[in-house]
Amino acid sequence: MSITTTRSFQCRCGEPLEVTVADSLNAGRHPHLRDALIAMELHRFTCEACGATTLVDTPFTYFDHERKQLFLVLRRGDLASEAEGIARLAELYKVTFGEAASPGVQALGAGMMVRLCLGVLAVRDKVIADEARLNDLVLEELKCQVLASYPELALHAVVALWLDRVTADELVLLAESAHAAEHRVVHVPRAAYDALLERGAQALLASRPELVRGPHVSMLRLGLR
């Protein structure tokens, strides 16, 4: 099942809004919530007073039995450290698939993709990448190389690149800027991903080990303290 709660927040115009958000999203049972996440409509609300839309950045768990995915989505600002997020995910895994669970459910946990995601764009990125059968470590390395080799991104104070869609020829990334609300679209040839995949995830990890810490696989780690 999916679990929802009502949250109160204030629109930029000052209007108080009551919204329903998912604390726990079961993508298998509620595929429309997964669709909403991919469409960037999940937790996006429109203010009746001023018409502005706001994406409510809220923590939630994301589970997909069929696709074998367990993601914990947290806000970076809520965490004292990355280690705290990793510990919370370990606890979630233990409660869900650990000793307290039935043997069948424990077996389900084996081979599951388990990831810590900082923010809704991070979990959306993992869902899209996994659907396209991309290796997320290879993808994160690709993002680092794109950031280093597309000079126009430096001008826009890009803090993160997020996978938006994958076609036969290219990966389309969204560049999140520290200044602008709008994301710039970056087109990367699929061949660039394939070349990195050819080198192999282990070789990439050996040359840039800071991309991964346990279940946290992200270019954001390069800026984490």
Smallest distance from Zn ion to CB 11, Å:
3
Give the containing element (helix H, strand E) for 214: none
Cα–Cα distance, 36 to 22 (Å, whole number): 12
Cα–Cα distance, 197 to 195 (Å, whole number): 5
What count of other Cβ atoms lies within 10 Å of the Cβ of residue 142?
25
Q: Does 39 interact with Zn ion (rule: CB under 5 A)?
A: no
Q: Does 15 interact with Zn ion (rule: CB under 5 A)?
A: yes
Contact with Zn ion (CB under 5 A) among 39, 49, 87, 157: 49
Q: Does 11 interact with Zn ion (rule: CB under 5 A)?
A: yes
Q: Does 50 interact with Zn ion (rule: CB under 5 A)?
A: yes
Site for Zn ion in 163-222 (CB under 5 A): none
Smallest distance from Zn ion to CB 177, Å:
23
Under rule CB under 5 A, how many of the chain's residues touch Zn ion? 7
Q: How far is CA 59 from CA 2, 55, 101, 126, in A?
A: 14, 12, 24, 16
The contacts of residue 91 (CB under 8 Å, 6+ apart) are none
Q: Which residues bind Zn ion (CB under 5 A)?
A: 11, 13, 15, 47, 49-50, 52
